[in-house]
Amino acid sequence: MAGVEFVDVRKSFGAFPVIKGVDIDIADGEFVILVGPSGCGKSTLLRMLAGLENISAGEIRIGSQVVNSLPPKDRDIAMVFQNYALYPHMTVAKNMAFSLMLKNADKADMDRRVQAAAEILGLTKLLDRYPRQLSGGQRQRVAMGRAIVRDPQVFLFDEPLSNLDAKLRVAMRSEIKELHQRLKTTTVYVTHDQIEAMTMADKIVVMHDGIVEQVGAPLDLYDRPTNLFVAGFIGSPA
Ligand code: ADP
Ligand code: MG
């Protein structure tokens, strides 16, 4: 496992700066939530950590390694997206095994990993189904299964629950937290939902317009917001 560090990270799209010097320190095994209004740069930060977007300046480290110029496949990271991006023509088992197949993993090892992930996520009986035969929550679990089988150093989640109805969203929060307690994988989780952040995070990073406004444990932010933006954002309903 490994921690993650952003050091004075900047990003512009053309002449338009969207990340304006961000420092974040994430400890090994920590569950950190990036929260902030739509358009403040959360997804861009995650995508830079995953290597899906170049960084304009600064440094990103995973463990002791500077990953700025490493291609995504060489970063020991697995990302769960909002829209799940499951392959419709592949079974649940294939969906989970696919990234391992790309890495030419040994077949027996691959099966073992898929079985183990399916057990953790309660998908054992659904391995032969296709995504269209699953509920929203089950699809979300498959998307998580795809990340788990890779046994990465870091999990990234980008608004993974925003397509689910309110009841399921609450249930999945607990599932994701239980998963983290079990695997203890360093996790960076993005949401614009304050309640999600307050209930799930070890540490919250409040972002606003390309900068970090405040970093702290949920109760610290609630009790001692350092400015009006944080106070307003943390205090307002989702
Ligand atoms: P968030 O995830 O917090 O909603 P994003 O990281 O997606 O925010 O976007 C931050 C800003 O960067 C927004 O103003 C968005 O329009 C802009 N942006 C994101 N991706 C691109 C891109 N590929 N090209 C140009 N602008 C982009
Ligand atoms: Mg986003």
- DSSP, collapsed to helix, strand or coil, labels residue 91 as coil
Per-residue pLDDT of the chain (238 residues; tens, 9 = 90+): 699 999 999 999 999 999 999 999 999 999 999 999 999 999 999 999 999 999 999 999 999 999 999 999 899 999 988 777 899 999 999 999 987 877 777 889 999 999 999 998 999 999 999 999 999 889 989 999 999 999 999 999 999 888 888 888 898 899 899 999 999 999 999 999 999 999 999 999 999 999 999 999 999 998 999 998 998 888 765 5
For 59-76, give the DSSP string.
EEEETTEE-TT--GGGS-
How far is the centre of ligand 2, averaged over its atoms, from the C-alpha of 126 (Å)?
Answer: 30
Question: 52: buried, middle or exposed (CB in 10 Å: 19+, 13-18, 0-12)?
Answer: middle
Give residues whose Cβ lies within 5 Å of ion ligand 2: 43
- DSSP, collapsed to helix, strand or coil, labels residue 19 as strand
- Given ligand 1 and candidates 12, 18, 190, which is best to mutate, with the most ligand atoms within 8 Å of its CB? 18
Q: Which residues line ligand 1 (CB under 6 A)?
A: 13, 18, 36, 38-44
Place of tokens 């170049």: 54
Contact residues for 169 (Cβ-Cβ < 8 A; gap 6+):
161, 196
- DSSP, collapsed to helix, strand or coil, labels residue 119 as helix
How far is the centre of ligand 2, averaged over its atoms, from the C-alpha of 137 (Å)?
Answer: 20
